[in-house]
């Protein structure tokens, strides 16, 4: 590990004290070796000027260096936290980048551990969602009725196998508003669903009859709303009751 900011600060303070001790030692040496008052005054004057300049320059460097290193470390750490808070969990954290201080590196290690926990949680959540989705899909496909799930704008979100067999033109790739149906029976059926979506109404036991083949379908549907009560889609159950055409 590189030397931490705290240890660098301690070293720089120690160097400053070393300069002061060196100045004192040189002054004492100059006093002990002085042969006249004039030469002593000249030596002391020169030594004081040199060391005052050196100490001043060193203090200016010390004053600016430590805040610069702290700002740099905080900026790097802030960038990492901002990226995580934006939902980017796929981050390859290089701990050596944040080893300016042990405290910073401990925090980065904690963030890395947290990211690992979040990733495992997301993976487990995704697996559970997929598993429940599969169960619901299988359950819907086992129902004898035809099931249609739509978005609020008429996009088909899901339809089961029974509905696909009866209405092959409906799939997850279409919007009900864009369907062009030549069959009046199917057109009236879709119109009931679109009207319910448009006005945000639930429908119960609405019968649509096929005047040609004497069949009919009973439609029940409920609007799906979010927490704010805004419609986001609907689920419809179509129960077909077919009769063969009478000759």
DSSP state of 183: -
- Mean confidence (pLDDT) of the chain: 83
- Contact (CB, 8 A) for 217 and 228: no
- Contact (CB, 8 A) for 169 and 179: yes
Does pLDDT of 220 surpass 50? yes
pLDDT for 246 equals 37
pLDDT for 235 equals 94
Among 4-18, 35-49, 210-224, 225-239, the range with the most confident prediction by mean pLDDT is: 225-239
**Residue 103 and residue 149 in one domain:** no
> Is 68 a member of any domain?
yes
Better-scored residue on pLDDT, 23 or 1: 23
> Is 219 a member of any domain?
yes
Does pLDDT of 92 surpass 80? no
Q: Which domain holds residue 10?
A: 5-119
> Is 129 a member of any domain?
no
Spatial strand order of the sheet with 231-241 comes to 156-159, 146-151, 231-241, 216-225, 203-209
Q: Read off the tokens for 144.
A: 């004898």
**Residue 88 and residue 162 in one domain:** no
Q: What is the mean pLDDT of residues 183-189?
A: 88
What's the structural domain count of the chain? Answer: 2
Does pLDDT of 83 surpass 80? no
> Is 211 a member of any domain?
yes
**Residue 110 and residue 176 in one domain:** no
Does pLDDT of 245 surpass 50? no
Q: What is the CATH number of the domain that holds 151?
A: 3.30.450.20
> Is 225 a member of any domain?
yes
Per residue in 116-142, pLDDT (tens digit) is 888 888 888 888 888 888 888 888 888
**Residue 182 and residue 233 in one domain:** yes
**Residue 32 and residue 100 in one domain:** yes
Q: Among 84, 119, 154, identify where a domain stops.
A: 119
Q: Among 104, 119, 134, identify where a domain stops.
A: 119
Q: Among 119, 136, 168, identify where a domain stops.
A: 119
> Is 134 a member of any domain?
no
> Is 138 a member of any domain?
no
pLDDT for 180 equals 84
Does pLDDT of 223 surpass 90? yes
Does pLDDT of 88 surpass 50? yes
Sequence-distant (6+) residues with CB within 8 A of 189 are 208, 217, 219, 238
Considering the entire predicted model, what is its pTM? 0.55
């Amino acid at each position: 590990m590189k030397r931490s900011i705290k240890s660098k600060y301690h070293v720089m303070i120690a160097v400053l004290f070393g300069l002061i001790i060196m100045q004192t030692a040189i002054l004492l040496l100059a006093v002990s070796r002085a042969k006249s008052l004039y030469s002593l005054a000249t030596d002391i004057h020169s030594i004081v000027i040199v060391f005052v300049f050196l100490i001043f320059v060193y203090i200016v460097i010390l004053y600016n260096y430590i805040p610069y290193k702290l700002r740099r470390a905080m900026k790097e750490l802030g960038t990492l936290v901002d990226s995580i808070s934006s939902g980017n969990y796929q981050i390859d954290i290089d701990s050596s980048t944040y080893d300016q201080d042990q405290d910073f590196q401990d925090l980065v290690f904690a963030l890395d551990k947290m990211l690992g926990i979040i990733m495992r949680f997301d993976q487990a959540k995704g697996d559970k969602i997929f598993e429940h989705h599969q169960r619901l899909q299988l359950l819907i496909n086992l129902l004898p009725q035809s099931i249609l799930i739509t978005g609020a704008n008429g996009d088909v979100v899901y339809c089961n196998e029974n509905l696909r067999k009866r209405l092959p033109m409906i799939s997850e790739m279409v919007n009900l508003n864009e369907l062009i149906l030549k069959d009046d029976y199917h057109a009236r059926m879709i119109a009931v669903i679109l009207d319910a979506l448009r006005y945000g109404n639930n429908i119960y036991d609405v019968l649509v009859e096929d005047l040609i083949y004497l069949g009919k379908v009973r439609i029940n549907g409920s609007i799906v709303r979010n927490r704010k009560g805004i419609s986001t889609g609907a689920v419809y159950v179509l129960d077909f009751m077919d009769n063969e055409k009478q000759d």
